[in-house]
Structure 1
Amino acid sequence: MPGVKRLPTSERRKQIVNAGLELCRKEGIASLRTEKIARRIGVTPGALFRHFPSKSAILQAMAESLLERLEATVPDPVVSGWDWIEQHVKERVRLLNEDPDVRMLFSEGFIFALPPEAREKVHLAFARSWEMLAENIQVAQKEGRARGDLEAHELGAAIVGLVQAVLHPPLGDLTDWSNPESVWRTAADLIGSKASRGAGG
């Protein structure tokens, strides 16, 4: 297209990925077409393929971008146990509130549309997150801060459910519920030991 500004490859790739994410978020995954992405950023469809060999490659890059944002919320390894769980809950809720694109990682339609390699990366990322959560719940149980009458994976399921509830109405539409502090207070009440609940979580 005449007058199109030439961007460095890394910037153009990022622009293409962000345009694809915006298109999916606003119109649904079924609307993702290379010509629509090209039109959105003002280039020819052929220009897209100088940066990505196929639509599948664009989807792969889109998934990787979302995973980077999600994994950036993982608490620092020096934090563990109860404090790790608190940071995990608050950061995930904050991200889901502030970055609507990341919500697509929790959409079956989006995940199903990904190429197999990207789908596997998403599943592995969620599995790692689940393992870290369970490990830190076990630490919190040994600390006496998390209740010991349930297994770590059962408490983990409660936490994951609370965090993901912000994605769905009617809870997701409640301002107080979408607040990271509010979600954490509820999570702490559910998984905390009697001693920790008595001490205010």
Structure 2
Amino acid sequence: MNASRQKNLPADERRNVTVEAVVDLAGKTNPDSITTAAIAKHMNLTQGALFRHFPNKEAIWQAVMTWVAERLMARIEKAAEGIDSPLETMQAMFLAHVAFVSEHPGAPRMMFGELQGAKATPAKRMARAMLKQYAVRLNDLIKAGKERGELRSDLDGEAAATLFIGTIQGLVMQSLIADDMSRMVDDAPRAFAIYRRGIIAGFSDEEG
């Protein structure tokens, strides 16, 4: 988007464009190295124009985490619509999450960076709140799956939710290392199949 077009954007849309620019930059470079000058240059704006909508860099980072959280949770909830089975819902959410990250590789880079940071920034609190919300959603599905007999009755719901998210994070890290985000889309169905086998009712070592 060119600078002249951006000057005519409403304030809310300008903020969204800025956030998307940061996510785009984070997909190509280390988020820690992204400066407000780099963001402004990427958007063909002056830093002054950038700071008319955000008081400081911390506010931009918080807006980025809010953007990621809202869009990721909306994506997985949309994927879950109309699915009656808790187990199938979990699979749909897993694949939708992976697809979202493959489309926005800067999102996990930003999130990992914030969660690993020592400071308790607003962006870090937002990232933690999203993961907590995600875990609650998964725990509810796991509980429903156990009640319906889809999942093992002795399944540790908290551990299963942690492993669900951790498996996605592992796929993300492998794709980032390989510098090929499409890799995780290809690997996701096979990874979930292994996860699924460990939580479904009726599975045992003898059966495997």
Given that 2:19 and 2:64 are in contact with CA atoms closer than 8 Å, whether structure 1 keeps it comes out as: yes
| Structure 1 ranges of 4+ moved more than 6 A | none
Alignment partner, residue 114 of structure 2: 110
Given that 1:19 and 1:40 are in contact with CA atoms closer than 8 Å, whether structure 2 keeps it comes out as: yes
What is the alpha-carbon distance in structure 2 between the residues aligned to residue 151 and residue 24 of structure 1?
Answer: 35
Alignment partner, residue 63 of structure 1: 65
Residue type at the aligned position of 2:189: E
Q: TM-score, normalised by structure 2?
A: 0.78
Of the candidates 127, 132, 142, which is equivalent to residue 137 of structure 1? Answer: 142
5+ unaligned residues in a row in structure 2: which ranges? 204-208
Alignment partner, residue 187 of structure 1: 195
Alignment partner, residue 16 of structure 1: 18
Alignment partner, residue 7 of structure 1: 8
Alignment partner, residue 35 of structure 1: 37
CA pair 102-89 structure 1, distance change in 2 beyond 3 A: same
CA pair 171-122 structure 1, distance change in 2 beyond 3 A: closer
For these two proteins, the number of residue pairs brought into alignment is 192
Alignment partner, residue 101 of structure 1: 106
SS at match of 2:171: helix
Of the candidates 33, 47, 50, which is equivalent to residue 48 of structure 1? Answer: 50
Q: TM-score, normalised by structure 1?
A: 0.80
Given that 2:95 and 2:188 are in contact with CA atoms closer than 8 Å, whether structure 1 keeps it comes out as: yes
CA pair 55-177 structure 1, distance change in 2 beyond 3 A: closer
CA pair 106-191 structure 1, distance change in 2 beyond 3 A: farther
Residue type at the aligned position of 2:44: G
CA pair 115-24 structure 1, distance change in 2 beyond 3 A: farther
| Worse overlay, 179-188 or 52-61 | 179-188
CA pair 114-138 structure 1, distance change in 2 beyond 3 A: same
CA pair 175-55 structure 1, distance change in 2 beyond 3 A: closer
Given that 2:98 and 2:185 are in contact with CA atoms closer than 8 Å, whether structure 1 keeps it comes out as: no
Residue type at the aligned position of 2:202: K
Given that 2:31 and 2:110 are in contact with CA atoms closer than 8 Å, whether structure 1 keeps it comes out as: no
Given that 2:90 and 2:141 are in contact with CA atoms closer than 8 Å, whether structure 1 keeps it comes out as: yes
The percent of aligned pairs where both chains have the same amino acid is 23
What is the alpha-carbon distance in structure 2 between the residues aligned to residue 114 and residue 98 of structure 1?
Answer: 28
| Worse overlay, 28-37 or 8-17 | 8-17
**Matching of residue 166 in structure 1 with residue 174 in structure 2:** no
CA pair 137-167 structure 1, distance change in 2 beyond 3 A: same
**Matching of residue 119 in structure 1 with residue 121 in structure 2:** no
Residue type at the aligned position of 2:161: G
| Worse overlay, 184-193 or 110-119 | 110-119
Of the candidates 153, 164, 167, which is equivalent to residue 148 of structure 1? Answer: 153
How far apart are residue 166 of structure 1 and its match?
Answer: 0.8
Of the candidates 77, 84, 88, which is equivalent to residue 89 of structure 2? Answer: 84
What is the alpha-carbon distance in structure 2 between the residues aligned to residue 136 and residue 41 of structure 1?
Answer: 41
What is the alpha-carbon distance in structure 2 between the residues aligned to residue 183 and residue 171 of structure 1?
Answer: 17
Residue type at the aligned position of 1:188: R
How far apart are residue 106 of structure 1 and its match?
Answer: 4.3
| Worse overlay, 88-97 or 131-140 | 88-97
